[in-house]
A and B are shown apart, each in its own frame.
Chain A
Amino acid sequence: MGLDGIIILDNMGRPIIQSGFRSSSTAYPLLHIDTVNKALQKAASPKEIDPVLYIAPYNTADDPKPSACCHVECGDIRMLCPISGDVDPLTAFAFMQTFIDILREYFGTLSVATLRDNFDVVYQLFEETLDAGGHPLTTSSNALRDIVLPPSLLNKLLNVTGANLTSTMNSGLGHASGPFSSPIPWRKAGIRHANNEIYFDICEELKAIVNKHGTTVTSIVRGKVEANSKLSGTPDCLLTFTNSKVLSDCAFHPCVRLQRWTRDRALSFVPPDGRFTLFDYRYSPSAIMANPNDAAISARDNVAIPLALKTNIDAEDNGASFDVTLSSRLSTHALENVEVELCLGQGAGGIKCALSRGLGGGGFINASGRSAEGTAGASWSYDSETTVLQWRIAIVPPSSSWSLRGSFTTSARVPRPAHAIVVRFEISSHTFSALKVDQLKVTQEQYKPYKGVRGRSSGVVEWRW
């Protein structure tokens, strides 16, 4: 009972690497691979596949347990986690997410190529993270780094020259930093950095739905604080915010002392080394009000949408014409990497588009110092497979407006474009919550670390028409 194993498929659906399966039949992993591939073939778009696929027992006499296959797509690979018996699929998904994070940390990026290059490391990671009985073992990356050495040029050099670094490091004199010697599960013992520094990135994401009258139906801002710690020794950090009231529904890294947070809303922690997510939260504009569970308040909970969209789509027989105008409501920041997506529906083709830039924000000089004039930086493309028309604008300066006009034809008599336009954007050095770090105190160590905080926000707005 538990997670039966992990299988990694490439984008063609072929297994690249799989962990050992403790199962009566060797057909078991193959059955799961087959089921996923069949589901992928059958579905018109990957969105239609259920992430938990039920798999009927293949041999009732041998193995009466039905099983399910949980799967996640990640870049050009797909990770499968078969579970049997009565296991919460959330455990499978949580484990896969953890494993993906570990792989990312080990190899930088996660792709078929990097996995093939480092398959021996992946096998070692399988053995250390998942017991054959189906229960996770060591998943803290700081502890794992001691057991499974991350691939580095140095290691490979030493391997080639025949020097045996690993054995000396792990069994000989260096025992101080050997595996499991750290008193803190998430932090290695004896870390030394030449420069002591710690950085915090406050990343917030807005998700909102706007109805055809331009009023916000629902909006939510979730944020997370990502830290990159390069501190020596065992530092004890205390992070305080000037406006911690805007934070609600928080979830913390295990290193955070929860009681301290509940008492005076300060984060006290001994950080793991390297990158980690310190905590995530929901921005609640109404938190100043007494009772957050009051229904009346949720109306005030809406966050201002930083852009406006005017849409006009005329459906005719065998086609439609559209006219979309996007304007920024921000006054100081620019919207960056704006992507406007409209799904045109089955059988759409013959797209004609014209881009233009409206008035407003003319004199604005953007970050790179060049004047953003004309339609430079705007482009459109159409993906006939997903039938998505995409309109990209690199930078939308404050209070400027842009428009896209065009038409398309459909093979069906009645065009069925999606009833919503999805706008994605980023705003750098800006947060919706205006969360502000008051100070970071580092105790237990002598040095004065260099500290840095920056904000970044992104958004997905669904504009119905």
Chain B
Amino acid sequence: MSAEYLNTLTENASRLGMRLQETLSEHTRDLALTRSSAAIYLDGADDKKRNIRKQLDSNSDREKLDAMKRLIALISKGRNVSEYFAQVVKNVASQNLEIRKLVYIYLLRYAEQEPDLALLSINTFQKDLTDSNPLIRAMALRVLSGIRVPMIGSIVVLAIKKCAADVSPYVRKVAALAIPKCYELDNSHLPSLIEIITTLLQDRSPLSIGSVAVAFEAVCPTRLDLIHQRYRRLCKVLLDVDEWGQVELLNLLLRYARTMLPRPMTKPEGNEIDSDLKLLLDSCEPLFQSRNPAVVLAATRVFWYAGLPSMHIKFAGPLLRLLHTSKEVERVVLSYLLVITRVETTLFTPHYKQFFLFSDDTRQVKTQKIKVLLRLLTFDNHQAILREFIDCADDVDDQVVSDSIHAIGRCANLVPESTQQCLSALVTMIKSNNDVMVSNAVLVIKNLVQGQLSSSTTHRSTSSISIISHLARKIDSIRHPAARACVIWLVGQYCSITESSAGGGSEGIADWAPDVLRKSAKSFIQEDVIVKLQIIILAAKLLVMSTQSTYSKTLELLSSYVFSLARYDPNNDVRDRARMIASLLAGVYPSLGDEQNLEERKGVVLRREQVKVVLFNGKAEAVDVDEKDEPNVLLGSLSAITGRSSLTDRILPEWLEKGVGSSLRDSPDDVPVVVVPTAFGSGPGRGGPGSVAGGQSKRGFGNQPDVLAPSGSSSGSGPGGAGAKKANGWTADLDKFYEESSSEEEDDEEDEDEEDEDEEEGEEEGSEESESGSGEEDESNSGSRGGSDGEKVKSEEDEESHDNTTRTGTGHTTSPRQEAYAENIWDK
């Protein structure tokens, strides 16, 4: 019996064990599957698509999540999976946040492409807009504004309006970004959108203000009048805005300053600069220390286009710092430096060494550095920079070689004292084995020599001629066609100028010239077309110059050989040139022309002197072309980088003759500034070392009422208690707080805007802070970014306003109301 019992027991146990093992292995298989990678979704075959629909309809979150991941993977592969839209939309209200997020991602992709289907889900989004989680609210708005159906325009406007008054600055930020999309969809909503922007501009949170600037620029860029009253506060808040918002805000403020403020003037008796412009420049200056290159550049733009030239020195260091952040940033910043150095070089002249070329620089960086170095070239540093160019002429990249050799030529033009050095460097390069180097050096020498000979001071021409003779002797080793053509032209053009010192030449021709013709005539057939053309001209020039020369007979023979070769050349140009030159010389050497029709020829026959004039004179001095960048390229624009201007470029407004009246910019916000002395009076009293620390902190996070989440019981508790509670209360629930505070105040107004609550919270915060003044810990904890007095004062103001509110018992939501209310303060 007992044995039987035992038997069943063991049997059961083993069965249980097996079952356990089964389930366990099943689970671990799943585990291994997910852990090994989600990549299986990406690699998965398409035949699994069939299941997706079923999975989406299933009850299990796991199945749904799996299906959503599959869908996202298919999107990633570039498949169109809009067919599942209906099933996906059903899950938009899923309790699982991860599923919901993936559903949103799916909808954001297809809302644009399948607007009609997206309409199905609008109700859900509207419901989501009231979700307790700010993340859900923001995502719902993002999807809603992404649906491109003009029909729902007014729904979107309402949603934006609602979110613009949200308690979470994150949601307000998303609301601001939704405005341009809504405007794009249907611009008939412009008035209500502008109204929302006006409200948002009041926002006290630095988190959302950058996006408001985006919306402003996209929707109503001309309504700068909306900025007037907020200008000063926007300047002050600049430092606390997130880095991307700083870029947008700086661009907006710069545009405002250029349109509305008087132009700053440098005058001998002192600089004339508007106080509001100075405020912008002062609050912009710390941003040069940002780690984000885009912010540094935006700040540079402000100083460059709105600052006095004496202030430009401030961005020199920061821009140079950017050169070391990354290769790509270096490339872009160098382009901007070229824009700046075209106007002002002295800023960077002391730092010229930072532009020396590293061999691992990219090609663009190298060529740009060469351009910058040329701009920075002065008499004092020309030695070092020239040496750098000479070193770079050895680079492995042919483009860089050519650029640096041309730079050497420019160097000689810019600093005439360095000409000798440049020429001797170039002549050394000609001896090099490197083809590219030789050809470029020859071209540059040609330009230099030509420039020198035309400026014709005798001692210089001596050296130039000796260079030409040197080139003439090296003609065999110069193989590059353009370089060869160039040398041959030089020889022909300057063969006549002989000096007693150069010697050897008989009347009129230097002795090296005929030899060049001899050598080139020999290789005529193999030469490039441009070289052939130059050989013909050389022959003609030598013939004309050698009147009674001993070479004359030889030259004539050589020339007629060249001309007869040229006449039957396969190339049109060469044949034409030969015929043309031959008839030009008809008066001097008739034998060169076509013998048959010599008698029949009519027209003017030129004498030797006339031919000389035709052949030698009127040669324009070749100028080494400087980079042809456009003068009106803006700093920080794409066209400065790509070198192509486009119609969509931003245009920076010109300064007005006189700015608009500064009283326009007075706003209720600035009012308490007048009260500064009293505020300071109470300052030390609040005091202790803690408040000093708080005052020192420039970037803080207090006084941004709605970012801060104070503890639930903010009003009513005693000073000490508030301090202690607040220290712990960092993590308090925002929503709960609002509920409590409103219930405490017994505020029955249901429809009161949430914006209002925000401000009340600010007031709460302000009063609290002053109450708990002696608790230093808490003070510097909340960090009252007090460094600026105005801010400290603001809390004072807020306190006052709080009093005011309680007395009058009215809310204040929109700006006109607030203004009226500000007047109340004045009246007091």
A280: chain B residues within 8 A (beta carbon): 291
The answer, yes or no, to whether A258 is at the interface (CB within 8 Å) is: yes
Min Cβ gap A127→B in Å is: 6
Selecting from B236-244, B262-270, B565-573, the interface stretch reads B236-244
Partner of A133, one of B31, B214, B708: B214
Residue-wise, chain B 705-718 has the 8 Å CB interface mask toward A (1 for contact) of 00111000000000
Q: Which listed residue (A49, A162, A256) contacts B62, Cβ 8 A? A: A162
Residue in A135, A171, A255, A464 whose beta carbon sits within 8 Å of that of B248 in the complex: A135
Contact string against A for B residues 733-744, beta-carbon threshold 8 Å, 1 for contact and 0 otherwise = 110000000000
List the B side residues contacting A393 at CB < 8 Å: none
Which of A136-183 touch B at CB < 8 Å?
Answer: 136-140, 147-149, 153, 156-157, 159-162, 164, 166-167, 170-171, 175-183
Contacts of B699 in A (CB 8 A): 254-258
Q: Is the CB of A295 within 8 A of B380?
A: yes
> Among residues 79 to 97 in chain B, which have CB atoms less than 8 Å away from a CB atom of chain A?
95-97
Inter-subunit contact B364/A252 (CB<8 Å): no
Chain A residues, CB < 8 A from B16:
none
Q: Is the CB of A185 within 8 A of B134?
A: no
Select from chain A the residue with minimum beta-carbon distance to B333. A90
A271 part of interface (Cβ distance < 8 Å):
no
Cross-interface CB contact of A179 among B135, B239, B332, cutoff 8 Å = B135
**Which of A16-24, A193-201, A327-335 lies on the face that meets chain B?**
A16-24
Cβ < 8 Å to B, chain A residues 13-56: 15-18, 20, 22, 47-52, 54
Are A180 and B168 in contact (CB-based, < 8 A)? Answer: yes
Q: Which of A65, A178, A260, A343 contacts B696 (CB 8 A)?
A: A260
Closest to A131 in B: B177
Does B31 lie within 8 Å of A157, measured CB to CB? yes
Q: Known interface pairs A160-B31, A170-B135, A217-B356. Does A93 touch B326 (Cβ–Cβ under 8 Å)? A: yes
Do most interface residues of chain A lie in helix, strand or loop, or is the interface mixed? mixed
- B window 346-398: CB within 8 A of A: 349-351, 353-354, 356, 358-364, 380-381, 384, 387-388, 391, 394-397
Which of B73, B326, B709 contacts A97 (CB under 8 A)? B326
Contact B96 A166 (CB under 8 A): yes
| A residues less than 8 Å from B455 (CB atoms) | none
How distant is A279 from chain B, measured CB to nearest CB, in Å?
A: 8
Q: Of B60, B173, B181, B732, which one neighbours A137 at CB under 8 angstroms?
A: B173
Expressed in whole angstroms, the Cα–Cα distance for A160 and B36 within the complex equals 13
The answer on a CB contact under 8 Å between B41 and A119 is yes
B333: chain A residues within 8 A (beta carbon): 90
A164 touches B648 (CB 8 A): no
Bound-complex Cα distance A346 to B112 (A): 51
Give bound CA distance, A439 to B745, whole Å.
47
Are A298 and B351 in contact, CB atoms less than 8 angstroms apart? yes
CA of A337 to CA of B646, assembled, Å: 49
Query: Interface digits, A193-234 against B, CB 8 Å rule (1 contact, 0 not)?
Result: 000000000000001010100000110101000000000001
- Given A116-B42, A178-B133, A252-B289 in contact, is the A52-B181 Cβ separation under 8 Å? no
B394, A419: Cβ atoms under 8 Å? yes
C-alpha spacing A47/B142, complex, angstroms: 40
A293 to B513 Cα, complex, angstroms? 54
Q: Which of A20, A132, A258 is the one whose CB lies under 8 Å from B289?
A: A258
B98-106, B530-538, B794-802: which lies at the interface: B98-106
Q: Which one, A90, A252, A270, A460, contacts B293 given CB within 8 A?
A: A90
Residue of B nearest to A87 (CB): B638
**B329:A251 contact, CB within 8 angstroms:** no
Assuming the contacts A86-B638, A90-B333, asked whether A133 and B177 have C-beta atoms less than 8 A apart, the reply is yes
Minimal beta-carbon separation of B66 from chain A (angstroms):
9
Indicate whether A394 reaches chain B with its CB closer than 8 angstroms: no
Segment of A66-74, A368-376, A429-437 engaged in the interface with chain B:
A66-74
B105: chain A residues at CB < 8 Å are 20, 123-124, 127
Q: Is the CB of A51 within 8 A of B362?
A: yes
Check B425 for interface membership: any CB of A closer than 8 A: no
Q: Is A4 an interface residue (CB 8 A)?
A: no
Taking CB atoms, residues of chain B closer than 8 Å to A83 are: 638
Bound: A56/B381 CA distance, A: 41
Asked if B636 lies at the interface with its beta carbon under 8 angstroms from chain A, I say yes
Count of chain A residues near B, Cβ 8 A: 128
**Known contacts A120-B69, A123-B72, A258-B699: A51-B132 contact under CB 8 Å:** no
Enumerate chain A residues within 8 angstroms of B95, measured Cβ to Cβ.
Answer: 164, 167
Q: Give CA–CA (A88, B135) in the complex, Å.
A: 30
**B:377-424 near A, CB below 8 Å:** 380-381, 384, 387-388, 391, 394-397
Q: How far does the alpha carbon of A407 sit from the alpha carbon of B732 in the complex, in Å? A: 72
**B37 and A268 form a contact (CB under 8 A):** no
Inter-chain contact B363/A180, CB cutoff 8 Å: no
B135 CB contacts on chain A under 8 angstroms = 147, 170, 179-180
Chain B residues with CB under 8 Å of A268's CB are 693, 696-697
**Chain B 606-646 interface residues, beta-carbon cutoff 8 Å to A:** 636-639, 641-644, 646
Contact flag A249-B320 (CB < 8 Å), given A178-B133, A268-B696: yes
Contact partners of A275 in chain B: CB under 8 A: none
In the assembly, what is the distance between CA of A85 and CA of B642, in Å?
Answer: 12
Asked if B65 contacts A159 (CB within 8 A), the reply is yes
The complex places the Cα of A159 from the Cα of B62 at a distance, in Å, of: 7
Contacts A51-B331, A251-B289 given; indicate if A119 touches B396 (C-beta within 8 A).
no
Query: Contacts A119-B76, A132-B108, A156-B35; is A93 near B329 (CB within 8 Å)?
Result: yes
On whether the beta carbons of B37 and A48 are closer than 8 Å, the reply is no
Select from chain A the residue with minimum beta-carbon distance to B78: A15
CB contact between A218 and one of B97, B98, B349, B356 (< 8 Å): that residue: B356
Q: How far is the CB of B378 from chain A (nearest CB, A)?
A: 10
Contact A209 B358 (CB under 8 A): yes
The reply to whether B293 and A93 contact each other, CB–CB distance below 8 Å, is yes
**Contact status B781-A234, CB under 8 Å:** yes
B146 within 8 A of partner (CB): yes
Q: How far is the CA of A156 from the CA of B65 in the complex (A)?
A: 12
Within the complex, which residue of A119, A139, A249, A343 is in contact with B318, where a contact is CB–CB below 8 Å?
A249
CB pair A419 B391 closer than 8 Å: yes
A265–B639 alpha-carbon span in the complex (Å): 39
Contact B297 A90 (CB under 8 A): yes
**In the assembled complex, how far is the CB of residue B131 from the closest CB belonging to chain A, in whole angstroms?**
8
Chain B nearest CB from A387 CB (Å) reads: 9
Q: Which of B168, B332, B647 contacts A52 (CB 8 A)?
A: B332
The answer for the CA separation of A460 and B697 in the assembled complex, in Å, is 38
- Residue from the list B61, B350, B787 in contact with A298, Cβ < 8 A: B350
| Contact partner, B649, options A86, A211, A217, A418, Cβ 8 Å | A86
Chain B residue with the shortest CB-CB distance to A205: B324
In-complex Cβ contact of B709 among A127, A183, A270 (8 A): A183
B218 at the interface (CB under 8 A from A): yes
**Cβ-defined contact, A48 with B363, below 8 A:** yes
Q: How far is the CB of B151 from chain A (nearest CB, A)?
A: 19
| Given contacts A17-B76, A185-B242, A251-B289, A127 and B359 within 8 Å (CB-CB) | no
17 residue pairs bridging A and B, Cβ less than 8 Å apart: A47-B361, A51-B332, A51-B362, A54-B642, A66-B646, A70-B328, A87-B638, A88-B638, A89-B638, A90-B332, A156-B31, A179-B135, A209-B356, A209-B358, A236-B780, A257-B700, A422-B359
Q: Report, nearest first, the 5 A-B pairs whose CB atoms are least far apart.
A: A259-B698, A419-B394, A176-B731, A218-B353, A51-B328
18 other A-B residue contacts (CB within 8 Å) besides A88-B637, A120-B72: A22-B146, A54-B644, A91-B247, A94-B243, A119-B72, A138-B170, A149-B98, A179-B133, A181-B733, A183-B709, A190-B730, A218-B353, A259-B286, A259-B698, A280-B291, A315-B433, A419-B395, A460-B360
A interface with B by C-beta (< 8 Å): 1-2, 15-18, 20, 22, 47-52, 54, 64-66, 68, 70, 72, 83, 85-91, 93-95, 97, 113, 116-120, 123-124, 127, 131-133, 135-140, 147-149, 153, 156-157, 159-162, 164, 166-167, 170-171, 175-185, 189-190, 207, 209, 211, 217-218, 220, 222, 234, 236, 248-260, 262-263, 268, 270, 277, 279-280, 282, 293-295, 298, 315, 343, 345, 413-414, 416, 418-420, 422, 443-444, 460, 462, 464
